Amino acid sequence: MALIRWDITGNNDRRIEGDGVFVRHPRPGDFEAWALLRGASRAFLTPWEPAWTEDELSRAAYRRRLRRYAEDIQAGRSAPFFVFRAEDDALVGGVTLSNIRRGVAQTASLGYWAGEAHARRGYTGAAVQTVLRYAFDFLNLHRVEAATLPENAPSRALLMKLGFQQEGLAREYLRINGVWRDHVLYGRLRLDRTA
Ligand SMILES: CC(C)(COP(=O)(O)OP(=O)(O)OC[C@H]1O[C@@H](n2cnc3c(N)ncnc32)[C@H](O)[C@@H]1OP(=O)(O)O)[C@@H](O)C(=O)NCCC(=O)NCCS
C-alpha cells in the first residue's frame, strides 16, 4: 500500500499514488485533456450526473470550476481529484470528496466518474481506494458516504467491492440530468476498512 505524502503546510498540489493510478487536484493545464475526455464521454456520463450547463466544457467554465475548487479546498469543504493512469499520466477520470463535515459528523460524500474509453479497467476502483485512504488517514474522517441511482449497476458494484454497505433509500435525493431522483445510500466507516 502506497504511503500518503501530503504537505500539511498548504501545498496540496502533490500527487497521491494508488495501484496503477495517481490522483491530484485539478490544475489549469488539465483543461484540454479534461474537456476532450468529458466531451467524448458525454452520452456515457450524463444519465448519472447533474445536468450539464450550456458551456459545460468551455475554458471559462473550467476556470470557474477551478476557482470553486480552490475555495472549497481552502475551506476544507471538499477535496476534488483527477485520476491519472500511472504508466503514461493520461487523465482517465475523477474522484471527489465533497460536503466534508467536521464536528460530531466527520463525514464526506464520495463522487466519481471514468472517461468512457477508460471504463472497466480498474482505474476508478483504485482511485477510490486511494482517496479513501486520504479521507481516513489524512483527513481523519470517520465515515464516507456515497449515493447512486438504483439502476446504476456499475456504481453499486464498485461500492460493494470497496467495502461500502447499503444503508437505505433516500427519496428524491439529488437532481440528476434535470430530474429529482431517489438514490440508494451507501456508507463506509473508518473501521470497516478491509483493504
Ligand atoms: C461507475 C464508474 C465510475 C465505474 O468506473 P470504472 O473505472 O469502470 O470502474 P473499475 O474498472 O475500477 O471497476 C471497479 C468495480 O466496479 C464494478 N463495475 C465497474 N463497471 C462495471 C460494469 N459495467 N458492470 C458491473 N460492474 C462494474 C465492478 O465491481 C468492478 O470491479 P471488477 O472489475 O473487479 O468486477 C463508471 O462506470 C462511470 O463513470 N459511469 C458513469 C458515471 C457514473 O455512474 N458515476 C457514478 C455516479 S454515482
* Residue with grid cell 485512504, as numbered in its chain: 133
Which one of 85, 98, 120, 131 would you pick to mutate in the ligand 1 pocket, going by the greatest count of ligand atoms within 8 A of its CB? 120
At 14-36, the pLDDT tens digits run: 899 999 999 999 999 999 999 99
What are the DSSP calls for 172-185, one per residue? EEEEETTEEEEEEE
Give the integer Cα–Cα distance in Å for 172 and 108.
20
DSSP state of 55: T
Residue bearing the CA closest to ligand 1, atom 1: 155
Of ligand 1's atoms, which has the minimum distance to the CA of residue 113? 39
Give the integer Cα–Cα distance in Å for 177 and 48.
7
Q: Are 145 and 110 in contact (CB under 8 A)?
A: yes
Q: What does DSSP say about strands 21-24 and 91-101: parallel, antiparallel, or unpaired?
A: unpaired
Indicate if ligand 1 lies below 6 Å from the C-beta of 112: yes
Which one of 144, 158, 162 would you pick to mutate in the ligand 1 pocket, going by the greatest count of ligand atoms within 8 A of its CB? 158
Which pTM does this prediction carry?
A: 0.94
Residue bearing the CA closest to ligand 1, atom 16: 158
Q: How far is CA 84 from CA 5, 91, 143, in A?
A: 17, 4, 25
Give the integer Cα–Cα distance in Å for 106 and 71.
20
Residue 63 has which C-alpha cell? 476556470
Residue bearing the CA closest to ligand 1, atom 24: 154
At 35-55, the pLDDT tens digits run: 999 999 999 999 999 999 999
Q: How high is the pLDDT of residue 14?
A: 86
Sequence-ordered list of residues with C-beta below 8 angstroms from that of 29, at least 6 positions apart, any chain: none
What is the chain's mean pLDDT, rounded? 93
Name the band, by pLDDT with cuts 50, 70 and 90, for residue 13.
Answer: low
